[in-house]
Structure 1
Amino acid sequence: MVLTVDVGNTRIKAAVFEEDTVLESFVFEKNELEKKIEKILKKFPNCSDLVIASVGNIEKHSFLIFENLLNIHFLTDNDVFPFTNKYATPKTLGIDRMILAAGATLQFPKKNRLVIDAGTCITYDFIDEFDNYLGGAISPGLRLRYEVLHNYTARLPLLVLEEPESYIGDTTAQAIHSGVVNGFVYEIDGFIDEYRTKFSNFIIILTGGDTDFLAKRLKNTIFANSNFLLESLNQTFQYKIDND
């Protein structure tokens, strides 16, 4: 069994795998890390490997305290990946984006793939049908957009994500919901449309914390999987074992 851990900007996601099958997945806060992993390992004592990808500021020693229980692997850009990285500044490419690209390459061979990860930020990563990683885009996620409107204006309230009642917001709160949610959806559909004009044999993968909220609002056909990063992390680890 393999325990995969994704340390994001906001929260930590984890999953236990038996080969390619997810046995259970978890989401928790960063300050719960040690207790949660202890609890997971008690429930799944046959875990042999702990595989970590981190873009958050968690120290390695928080994981190394478990090195007497299982093998610990920190995936980095120095590991082997199933695509050719053609990013102009490869050392600045986040490990989370690399793992998403790896998962898309391994799960959907010989296709043009656009991976959209809707979390704290929304990232777009494109891997062509020849397994070349070409790049993508980064912009603020839904929560950040609400926070920016509040933090950088004098009077706009801080709201939480909510379905807009109408495209025409008739209160300040509804105007914010309409602007944030509809603007976000238009952005994603716009990016997808732009890629579709240039590439055929195309698949769009939507993942991240806001997957379920967004999936039914997009006009484009997508493959939605909120656990895609964790699945990709497990697959990337298996690929590393087979190709090191």
Structure 2
Amino acid sequence: MSATLCIDWGNSRVKAAIFKDKKLVEVQNFSDSEAANSLASLISQHQPTKGILCSVVKHPQDVEQMLRENLRHFSILDSNTRVPIMNAYTTPGTLGADRLATVVAAHMLNPDKNNLVISVGTCITYNFIQKTRTYRGGAISPGLHMRLKAMNQFTDRLPEVKVDGDLLLLGYDTDTCMRSGAIFGMAAEMDGMIDRFASQYPDFNAILTGGDGPFFASKLKNKIFADPDLLLKGLNLIVDYNVPQLQ
């Protein structure tokens, strides 16, 4: 049974998955410094023949070289990679590879829907793909840590607030007011975007993903499906689309 290694190299963490016979069988999260050893261990254990890397930062060249040496087919997702959707983004070279992978997964998993993918991480990205399999773009706004950090850095007196702590709609001190504004403000933003898209497009579906996706899933008024592994599933679909014959 052929295995595929899919790697999501993010701003703060690396996430890797093994797929066998189109099924997700293992997911690991690790830091940049742990990547080389962790990926080598996954390769040794599962013997994948195919692999793909999606990176939003500059990844170490020694890790890339190791992957190329150990996988029969290895690629880095970029604007030149063949994908099973139409990309109507006017500047495809500036489109984050992670955004592209998530909409591929959203469409292939829900082909009869107009899908909005909300990925909550360093930034919130809203990515919309029509059921005609055409990716149209979306929106980008600051993520949770960025909002909290910005309030501290761009003011003289507001403190640096951590995400963990009391969360109430009505904050009782500066820390809880900032936390409430950032978290409930983000939830209201996401609900508002969902409502706007749903009002304009029939057969609408929204999917929540990203590192902070599970944290916000219960805080939205809209009932939304959360899939923390959507990007990895998209990468696997892209590999299968390009090298279906490789066993």
Per the normalisation by structure 2, the TM-score is 0.93
How far 1:232 moved relative to its partner? 1.0
Instruction: Look up the match of 2:160.
Output: 158
Q: How far 1:48 sits from its partner (Å)?
A: 1.4
How far 1:164 moved relative to its partner? Answer: 4.8
Q: What do residues 72-105 of structure 1 show as CA deviations (whole Å, max 9, x unaligned)? A: 2212211111221111222211111111111112
Alignment correspondent of 1:195:
197
Contact preservation (8 Å) 2:50, 2:239? no
In the aligned structure 2, how far is the partner of 1:217 from the partner of 1:77?
34
Moved more, 14-23 or 114-123: 14-23
Distance, in Å, in 1 between the alignment partners of 2:111 and 2:149 is: 38
User: Could you say which residue in structure 2 is the equivalent of 1:211?
Assistant: 213
2:48 — aligned with what?
A: 47
Q: Which amino acid aligns with 1:48?
A: T
Q: Which amino acid is 1:42 matched to?
A: S
Q: Which residue of 2 aligns with 1:62?
A: 63
Separation in 2, partners of 1:70, 1:90: 27
Take 2:154 and 2:129, find their aligned partners in 1: how far apart are those partners?
36
Inter-partner Cα distance in structure 2 for 1:151 and 1:18: 46
Match of 2:85 in 1: 83
What amino acid does structure 1 have at the position aligned with 2:206? I
Separation (CA, whole Å) in 2 of partners of 1:207 and 1:9: 15
The RMSD of aligned alpha carbons is 1.6
- Are the counterparts in 2 of residues 163 and 181 from structure 1 also a CA contact under 8 Å? no
Inter-partner Cα distance in structure 2 for 1:95 and 1:34:
21
Matches of 2:58 and 2:153, distance apart in 1:
23
What is the letter of the counterpart of residue 7 of structure 2?
A: V
- Which position in structure 2 is the counterpart of 1:228? 230
Secondary structure in structure 2 of the residue aligned to 1:65: helix
Report the equivalent of 1:180: 182
Aligned to 2:26: 24
CA distance in structure 1 between the aligned counterparts of 2:166 and 2:114, rounded to whole angstroms: 33
The gaps in structure 2 that reach 5 residues or longer are: none
Match of 1:147 in 2: 149
Q: Which amino acid aligns with 2:180?
A: S
Partner of 1:119: 121
Partner AA of 2:27 in structure 1: S
For 1:11 and 1:200, the matched residues in 2 are separated by 36
More deviation in 63-72 or 98-107?
Answer: 63-72
Distance 1:66 1:197 in 2: 45
Q: Structure 1 residues 2, 242: CA separation in 2 closer, same or farther (over 3 Å shift)?
A: closer
- Once residues 75 and 88 of structure 1 are traced to their aligned partners in structure 2, the CA distance between those partners, rounded to angstroms, is 18
Maintained 8 Å contact 2:78/2:97? yes
Q: Which amino acid aligns with 2:150?
A: V
Change (3 A) 1:68 1:89: closer
Partner deviation per Cα, 1:119-173 (whole Å, 9 max, x = no partner): 1111000011211111100011111111111222222222221365321111001
Please list every run of 5 or more consecutive structure 1 residues that lacks an aligned counterpart in the other structure.
none
Residues in 2 aligned to 1:66 and 1:53: alpha-carbon distance in whole angstroms: 13
Deviation digits for residues 183-203 of structure 1 (CA, Å, limit 9, x no counterpart): 000000010010011011011
